[in-house]
Structure 1
Amino acid sequence: MTTAVQAPLPSRPVPRLRLAPHGDLSRAIDGAWWPRSYDLLAELPHLLAGLPRAWGQITSVTVSGATWPAVPGRILVSNQVVRLRRTPGEAAPRTVVLLAAGRGRWDLLVVPPDTTEEAAEPLMSAAAGGQVRPGPSL
């Protein structure tokens, strides 16, 4: 297992993230994330920095093998080690699963970086509204 050391975050736009409203209702998808590139080591720290504080410290992230083919075992984000896992195969849903010890689990739809804004916006809105189910075709 390898560890990736992350440099301090450069100044960058806010992550393209749309989250479902907070509530007691269990959801298959808790929102959507539209990264700017396929470079997980560059994108993940920005995603984690943009999450609500109420979610707590994310300690584990599982990503789709179809979207992120190369994933190190760990990454250092804001002086915290985050364990990274990758789902095997092309049939895995295009999601990222975030875990915070004692706080919960959140599943976000990953909109591919090369998606146009016209196509990404409806997907992100639908995911935040609970109208998207995870699946390999996303």
Structure 2
Amino acid sequence: MFTAIDAAATRWRQRFPLLEPAGVLAVATATVVFVGLNDPNAPGNYPTCPFLAMTGYYCPGCGSLRAIHALAHLDLGTALRLNLLTVLVMLPLAAFYYFRWAGERLLGRPLRRNLAHPAWIWAFLVLILGFWLTRNLPFAAILAPYGIAP
């Protein structure tokens, strides 16, 4: 039964190679438009970060929603002050992997089994953990999202 479904999915991918990437792009665009129209700084629009609410410490993602809102309004400076990791690392990585995936679909190449070399994945994990720890230390308060009280 699954082979028939797999065969049908393969035919659809061959006929319309950019259908899946277009769907992902549509969902991502709709999400950014929604966040751009609904200000995360206004009380009641979005819930508070659960980690911040329970511990009083910033998680690596604290300020990301506000940063995406700022980017939707073309305010790069504010976005950088809210979450440096999201703006300089996460969004460029997401764009890179999206375009790599869409390009492989367009060219009809099989998808890669590994996203990246394990050393890069470990380095990425260390970067996230280091950012998480550092942004909560007093000497690195510049990494904490401004305007969000712990």
TM-score (norm 2): 0.24
Greater fraction helix: 2
TM-score (norm 1): 0.26
Greater fraction strand: 1
RCO comparison, higher one (Cα < 8 Å, 6+): 1
